[in-house]
Structure 1
Amino acid sequence: MTNGTLPVKRQRTGGGLAEPESTDDARTRDEQLRRQLLMSLIFPSMLMPMMSTMSRVALPVIRDTFEIPEDVTAWVSAAFTLTFMTMMSVYGRLGDVIDRKKLLLFGITVFFCGTSVTLTADSMPQLILGQMIAGLGVAGMMPLGMALISSFFPARDRGRALGTWATVGPATGFVGSFIAGFLVAGWGWKGAYVTSWALSLFAVIAVWKGIPSNPPARDESRPIRSFDWGGVVLLAAGLACFVCYLSSRAITGVPSLEDWRFLTASVVMLTTFVLRERRHPDPFVAPQLLFNLRFAQSSFCAATRMICMGGLSILIPLYLTDIHGLHPAQLGAMLVINSGSMALIVRIGGGLADRWTSRGLVSVGILIQAIVLMIFSRLPGSSSLLVVGLSLGLHGFGAGLMHAALHRYVMDSVPKERAGAAAGVYNMFRFLGGVIGTSLGGVFLRQYLEDGVPTIGAYQQSFFIFVFIGLVGSVMATQLREKRQLATGGGR
């Protein structure tokens, strides 16, 4: 696989002899190819945030159309993220031994099929199935993109490149939320998925034309046959059972957080997975990665960031609909504020990540999230939309500030030859946090409503629970240490 070194071209001299490019020409060409790579990754990187942000606007309409409770409504987002996160590490691991361009094209095709199923759905099971297939396909966009950037960009430019690339998500959310409001208002909940379906066609063209192939030196079928598929199944099933335990009502009818069969199965499968990986000759997740302290710390911080974001992603659309009576177009406009704020700060955060330590950026970013959640837990039902909008903007600022810093920190903690696997596992843990936050947000809200708590009180108490999660993440972030700090005794 490529190690980031771009091929050297030779130029014709007047006598017809081939001469290597000059250093300046080679450097210019390399920079052009890197820019082309970065631009070509934009379209596939838009698929996941486009689907998730536009789906958020549709959640209140889906809830009312199918007449389902809040914890079941959360499964619309959770189903997509569940397959998305469990397959991330598979794509990342395969990306270390198989042409990443082929994997990107395969994933986009699967996403297109899943979105097609969603658009034709007339029942909740079919809708959830379509979301699961779409998540299965789009899972590779992030780890493969991170690995490609980490491989082709030198260390001095990597933070800025990752920051630029990471801006795509919030920027897409900014546009997606706004467009989704009008589409849902005009065509119902299915309107939220049309744009993602069309975007996947452009993504295929962008990847096909703009991303260089990096075929491995050996037959690609060999790593597929020898791949640790048993480990994949154990990990995916263990995580799926854990999510089902968090929100079991929609599956078994048992109240959420009370079906111990799912929790027991999850513990057994995940324990078996760890034991298997320690003995397997070519493990799906290398034991060194599982016990890499820097990798574990940054993954935990990323997960807490996403738990807070996941909780807001399910609670805010329902809150604005139930408490403030917003229609889909108005709801989409309000959700733009969070994504827009994040889009504005992410690239700046990427530049800061190259100059400052990740510890400060991540700790402050998660603390800001906790403060915003505290604000929402205290807002009365009569609060103005201006206050709500400012709070959403502040949350976007905090979430965006640490985004690239986390990416750079985790990729710097592993050797380059394991970049794909590390990116996949890191993003899996990151979005596991998103699934947990989304599921718990729906579960807590539904439980408070069933207990007879007034609607505004149910929302306030649900927001308050996530404050503690944010505070834990902020404290953990203070323990992050850069390599240069470790080399000098922790920066003393």
Structure 2
Amino acid sequence: MSSVTPRVATAQPSLRRLVAALMAPTLMMIMTMAMFAVAVPVIRLEFGLTADVTSWLLVAYTLPFMMLMPLYGRLGDGLGKRRLLLFGISLFVLGSAMLLVVRSLPMILLARAVQGAGAAGINPLAMAMIVQFAPTEQQGKALGAWNSIGPVAAILGPLVAGAMIDTLGWRSILFPALLIGVITIIVSARLLPHSARKVSSRTLLRTFDWGGVILFNGTIALLVFFTSSRPITGIAPLRDVRLLAAGLLFLAGFVLWARRHRNPFIDLSIFRSRNFSLASICVSIRMLLMGGAHFILPLFVTDLYGLPSAITGSLLMLHAGALLVTMWLGGIIIDRWRSRMQIVIGLGIESLAMLLFVLLPAGAALHWVFAILALHGLGAGLCLAALHLYAMGAVARNRSATAAGLYSMVRFGGSMLGAAIGGVVLYGGIEAHGISAAGYRPAFLFYLVVSVVGAAAALGLSRKMPSPVE
């Protein structure tokens, strides 16, 4: 019988050093995602893909990305957040290397899935480490500073990708991605602090709720396949009742299993907190709109304006720049005012942007597209830090990694649905109206309706953010 002495953090790490270290993997992940978004129209043309199949270039990444977040969160509480974060970063780099060398579409999708499986741990583990080590009064500022690297990466990514794709082809974007990945592993290994481990690795892995993991991930995969079934079964989206029935059966099994298991994979009691549940819904809708914008807009400007990759990259760069401005400001505002109205206003601005896209006439000047997307970025950035704190402040600190995993899963599940459902709606619009402004309008209308639902849901949060649960 082996025994393992848990490693305990002996000193409180410098908050500035911690945030800087956590920025490195976030930079790697988001910059690679942003660069790949610019490549999607080129890959679509190379393989002759329809809109709903094209969306799987993003869904293949976001599906394991979303499904594995709670697993990283739960294991992080027991095995140590630093150890799992380094594992995830290494897996992401492996997926990027695969993507560089494979040539067939199925293998490209597999490489994207490996990337997503590695990236799944970055957000929940980074967020949990900040909540664990940062003083309560500095958490909003720390989360805002950490999140601010996202727009910086999203600014650099499209700019670099656009120039490289136009001159060297889309696979060339993977060389800087791999270089950043290797540097990230070195920086993270040197700077990230160790945290306490509650049990030995062997004990945790032996007693872990792997049945719950299988039932939960089976539910998610089957329901996603149902929403975009054509690439999976060849049947039109939302028509293959076999996938729906199997997904609902897995869901029922998961709920029953979680209620009866002594230490379930996902503790459903976390969702009894109104603030946690509503903040999770709102952040999922925010990411649905973000994922939709990053999927639809590059195709929109390529199809209707004939823009090269470099200009498409500048479009996403502008969106990221707007995000950066209000994301930094949003972290400061929520620490001072602690009000739900910051979230309501942010989602309201996103709703306005989607309404303007719906009303955009055929042949509208390109600068209007840029302006509306920048407006959307301002709204998306304003509400992010507030949503993080409303959610994470509703759970005890000793459950921070578990809660962060669930919250991040719901958050990025929205991004996946934004691409998957958006691709299905876009396919229908193009089938009915051709490649035109009218063909894209149903997709923008879908995003508008969802954004209004998000703003309304934010009104259900407590007026003032309560003190964190200890």
TM-score between the two structures when normalised by the length of structure 2 = 0.95
Give the structure 2 partner of residue 115 of structure 1.
96
Q: Matches of residues 241-260 of structure 1 in structure 2 within 5 Å?
A: 241-260=222-241
Superposed CA offset, 1:347-384 (max 9, x none): 11011111223411111111111111111112123211
Structure 1 residue 37 displacement after superposition: 1.0
The residue type paired with residue 93 of structure 2 is F
The residue type paired with residue 196 of structure 1 is A
Superposed CA offset, 1:101-125 (max 9, x none): 1111111111111111111121110
The residue type paired with residue 302 of structure 2 is T
- Assess if the C-alpha contact under 8 Å between 1:163 and 1:351 holds in 2: yes
- Assess if the C-alpha contact under 8 Å between 1:358 and 1:480 holds in 2: no
- Assess if the C-alpha contact under 8 Å between 1:409 and 1:482 holds in 2: no
- Assess if the C-alpha contact under 8 Å between 2:79 and 2:199 holds in 1: no
Give the structure 1 partner of residue 373 of structure 2.
392
Give the structure 1 partner of residue 451 of structure 2.
470
Distance 1:315 1:361 in 2: 27
Distance 1:190 1:484 in 2: 45
The residue type paired with residue 43 of structure 1 is A
Distance 1:302 1:113 in 2: 29
Q: Does 1:339 align with 2:320?
A: yes
Classify 1:485/1:152 alpha carbon distance in 2 versus 1 (closer, same or farther; 3 Å). Answer: closer
Q: Matches of residues 5-154 of structure 1 in structure 2 within 5 Å?
A: 7=10, 33-154=14-135
> What RMSD over aligned residues (CA atoms) do the two structures have, in Å?
1.7
Q: Does 1:377 align with 2:358?
A: yes
Distance 2:132 2:466 in 1: 24
Superposed CA offset, 1:145-172 (max 9, x none): 0000000001000000000001111111
1:306 to 249, 266, 287: 287
Distance 1:326 1:246 in 2: 30
Q: Name the SS for the 1:283 alignment partner.
A: coil
Distance 2:271 2:254 in 1: 11
Structure 1 residue 482 displacement after superposition: 5.7
Query: Which 5+ residue runs of structure 2 have no aligned equivalent?
Result: 1-7
The residue type paired with residue 182 of structure 1 is A
The residue type paired with residue 288 of structure 2 is I
Distance 1:338 1:295 in 2: 28
- Assess if the C-alpha contact under 8 Å between 2:303 and 2:435 holds in 1: no
Give the structure 2 partner of residue 166 of structure 1.
147
2:405 to 409, 421, 424: 424
Distance 1:217 1:395 in 2: 43
- Of the structure 1 ranges 128-137 and 114-123, higher mean CA displacement relative to structure 2 is found in 114-123
Distance 2:233 2:384 in 1: 37
Q: Matches of residues 290-329 of structure 1 in structure 2 within 5 Å?
A: 290-329=271-310
Q: Matches of residues 214-225 of structure 1 in structure 2 within 5 Å?
A: 214-225=195-206
Classify 1:452/1:102 alpha carbon distance in 2 versus 1 (closer, same or farther; 3 Å). Answer: same
Give the structure 2 partner of residue 22 of structure 1.
none
Distance 2:68 2:300 in 1: 31
Structure 1 residue 215 displacement after superposition: 4.2
Distance 2:165 2:51 in 1: 19
Superposed CA offset, 1:169-195 (max 9, x none): 111101111111011112222123332
The residue type paired with residue 411 of structure 2 is R
Give the structure 2 partner of residue 27 of structure 1.
none
Q: Percent identity?
A: 36
Q: Does 1:240 align with 2:195?
A: no
Structure 1 residue 454 displacement after superposition: 5.5
The residue type paired with residue 454 of structure 2 is G
- Assess if the C-alpha contact under 8 Å between 1:36 and 1:210 holds in 2: yes
Distance 1:142 1:65 in 2: 32
Q: Matches of residues 175-186 of structure 1 in structure 2 within 5 Å?
A: 175-186=156-167
Classify 1:247/1:484 alpha carbon distance in 2 versus 1 (closer, same or farther; 3 Å). Answer: closer
Q: Does 1:479 align with 2:460?
A: yes
Structure 1 residue 451 displacement after superposition: 2.4
Structure 1 residue 483 displacement after superposition: 6.7
Q: Which entry has the higher C-alpha Rg, 1 or 2?
A: 1
Classify 1:199/1:454 alpha carbon distance in 2 versus 1 (closer, same or farther; 3 Å). Answer: closer
Structure 1 residue 288 displacement after superposition: 1.3
The residue type paired with residue 415 of structure 2 is G
The residue type paired with residue 474 of structure 1 is A
Q: Name the SS for the 2:78 alignment partner.
A: coil
- Assess if the C-alpha contact under 8 Å between 2:128 and 2:401 holds in 1: yes
Give the structure 2 partner of residue 265 of structure 1.
246
Classify 1:358/1:424 alpha carbon distance in 2 versus 1 (closer, same or farther; 3 Å). Answer: farther
Distance 1:485 1:165 in 2: 22
Runs of 4+ residues over 3 Å off in structure 1: 5-8, 482-487
Distance 2:175 2:347 in 1: 33
- Assess if the C-alpha contact under 8 Å between 2:155 and 2:320 holds in 1: yes
Classify 1:484/1:252 alpha carbon distance in 2 versus 1 (closer, same or farther; 3 Å). Answer: closer
2:178 to 179, 185, 197: 197
- Assess if the C-alpha contact under 8 Å between 2:340 and 2:465 holds in 1: no
- Assess if the C-alpha contact under 8 Å between 2:294 and 2:316 holds in 1: no
Classify 1:467/1:34 alpha carbon distance in 2 versus 1 (closer, same or farther; 3 Å). Answer: same
- Assess if the C-alpha contact under 8 Å between 1:79 and 1:132 holds in 2: yes
Distance 2:195 2:300 in 1: 47
Q: Does 1:274 align with 2:277?
A: no
Structure 1 residue 217 displacement after superposition: 4.8
